[in-house]
Amino acid sequence: MTALAEARALITTARSAYSIDTYAAASLTEVLDRLDQPLRVALAGSLKAGKSTLLNSLVGQDIAPTDATECTKVVTWYRSGATPSVTAWYDGDRAAHVPVQRRDGRLTFDLGDLTASQVDRLEVEWPARTLTHTTIIDTPGTSSLSRDVSARTPSMLTPENSSSGADAVVYLLRTLNATDVSFLGQIGAHVGGESGPLGVVGVVSRADEVGAGRMDAMMSAKDVAARFASELEATGLCQAVVPVAGLLALAAETLRQNEFDAFSTLAQVPDQDLQLAMLSADRFSRPGLLPVDPALRASIVDRFGLFGIRMAVTLVKLGVRDSPTLAAELVERSGLNELRSVIDVQFGQRADQLKLHSALVALQRILEARPIGQSAAFRAQAGRMLADVHGFQELRLLGRLRSTAPKLPEGDLAELQRLIGGYGIDAAARLGLQPDAGPAERRESALVSVQKWRRLSEHPLLDQFTSRACAVAARSAEGIAAAPPVRA
Ligand SMILES: Nc1nc2c(ncn2[C@@H]2O[C@H](COP(=O)(O)OP(=O)(O)O)[C@@H](O)[C@H]2O)c(=O)[nH]1
Ligand SMILES: [Mg+2]
Higher-pLDDT residue of 156 and 435 is 435
Higher-pLDDT residue of 376 and 423 is 376
Best mutation site among 51, 52, 66 for ligand 1 pocket (most ligand atoms within 8 Å of CB): 66
Would you say the CB of residue 246 lies under 6 angstroms from ligand 1?
A: yes
pLDDT tens column, 262-284: 999 999 999 999 999 999 999 99
| Ligand in closest contact with the CA of 67 | 1
Would you say the CB of residue 48 lies under 6 angstroms from ligand 1?
A: yes
pLDDT for the residue numbered 239:
63
Which of 20-24, 331-335, 358-362 has the lowest average pLDDT? 358-362
Assign 315 a pLDDT band (cuts: 50, 70, 90).
Answer: very high
Best mutation site among 69, 122, 247 for ligand 1 pocket (most ligand atoms within 8 Å of CB): 247
pLDDT (average), residues 134-148: 69
Angstrom distance (rounded) from CA 34 to CA 351: 12
Would you say the CB of residue 61 lies under 6 angstroms from ligand 1?
A: no
pLDDT tens column, 459-468: 998 899 999 9
pLDDT (average), residues 468-485: 87
Nearest CA, atom 26, ligand 1: 206
Helix, strand, or coil (residue 138): strand
Would you say the CB of residue 209 lies under 6 angstroms from ligand 1?
A: yes
pLDDT for the residue numbered 486:
40
Would you say the CB of residue 249 lies under 6 angstroms from ligand 1?
A: no
pLDDT for the residue numbered 185:
65
Would you say the CB of residue 100 lies under 6 angstroms from ligand 1?
A: no
pLDDT tens column, 31-47: 999 999 999 999 988 88
**How many whole angstroms from 46 Cα to the centroid of ligand 2?**
9
pLDDT cut 70: percent of the chain above it:
84
Would you say the CB of residue 247 lies under 6 angstroms from ligand 1?
A: yes
Which of 168-177, 256-265, 277-286, 407-416 has the lowest average pLDDT? 168-177
Q: Which helix (H) or strand (E) holds 202?
A: strand 200-204
pLDDT for the residue numbered 86:
95
| 107 Rama class: left (phi>0) / alpha (psi -120 to 50) / beta | beta
Query: What are the chain's domains?
Result: 37-248+336-351 (3.40.50.300), 251-331 (no CATH), 405-488 (no CATH)
Nearest CA, atom 18, ligand 1: 48
Q: Structure pTM?
A: 0.84
pLDDT for the residue numbered 217:
66
Sequence-distant (6+) residues with CB within 8 A of 83 are 125, 127
**How many whole angstroms from 430 Cα to the centroid of ligand 1?**
37
Strand residue runs (E) in 378-455: none
- Least Cα distance to 113 among 132, 99, 123, 126 occurs for 99
pLDDT for the residue numbered 68:
73
Q: At 316, which amino acid appears?
A: V
| Ligand in closest contact with the CA of 172 | 1
Would you say the CB of residue 208 lies under 6 angstroms from ligand 1?
A: yes
pLDDT for the residue numbered 212:
60
pLDDT for the residue numbered 395:
82
pLDDT tens column, 441-451: 999 999 999 99
Assign 207 a pLDDT band (cuts: 50, 70, 90).
Answer: confident
Angstrom distance (rounded) from CA 467 to CA 471: 6
pLDDT for the residue numbered 215:
62
Task: For the chain, give the mean pLDDT.
Answer: 85
pLDDT for the residue numbered 197:
47
Angstrom distance (rounded) from CA 317 to CA 366: 61
pLDDT for the residue numbered 144:
40
Tally the residues of the chain: 488
Would you say the CB of residue 414 lies under 6 angstroms from ligand 1?
A: no
**Best-predicted range by mean pLDDT (101-105, 232-236, 291-295):** 291-295
Assign 134 a pLDDT band (cuts: 50, 70, 90).
Answer: very high
Best mutation site among 43, 53, 214 for ligand 1 pocket (most ligand atoms within 8 Å of CB): 53
Asked whether the beta carbons of 277 and 231 are under 8 A apart, the reply is no
| 38 Rama class: left (phi>0) / alpha (psi -120 to 50) / beta | beta
pLDDT for the residue numbered 149:
41
Assign 397 a pLDDT band (cuts: 50, 70, 90).
Answer: confident
Assign 181 a pLDDT band (cuts: 50, 70, 90).
Answer: low
Given a cut of 80, whether residue 230 has pLDDT beyond it is no
Would you say the CB of residue 135 lies under 6 angstroms from ligand 1?
A: no
Q: Which helix (H) or strand (E) holds 137?
A: strand 134-138
pLDDT for the residue numbered 236:
55
Would you say the CB of residue 180 lies under 6 angstroms from ligand 1?
A: no
71, exposed or middle or buried, with CB in 10 Å at 0-12, 13-18, 19+?
A: buried
Q: Which helix (H) or strand (E) holds 201?
A: strand 200-204
Backbone angles phi, psi at 407, to 5 degrees: -80, 80
Q: At 41, which amino acid appears?
A: V
Asked whether the beta carbons of 413 and 405 are under 8 A apart, the reply is yes
Which of 38-42, 131-135, 179-183 has the lowest average pLDDT? 179-183
pLDDT (average), residues 70-93: 91
pLDDT for the residue numbered 222:
73
- Least Cα distance to 179 among 140, 144, 127 occurs for 144
Angstrom distance (rounded) from CA 477 to CA 451: 9
pLDDT for the residue numbered 155:
52
Backbone angles phi, psi at 413, to 5 degrees: -65, -45
**How many whole angstroms from 302 Cα to the centroid of ligand 1?**
11
Angstrom distance (rounded) from CA 453 to CA 477: 9
| Ligand in closest contact with the CA of 54 | 1
| Ligand in closest contact with the CA of 141 | 1
Q: Which helix (H) or strand (E) holds 333?
A: helix 323-334
Backbone angles phi, psi at 244, to 5 degrees: -140, 135
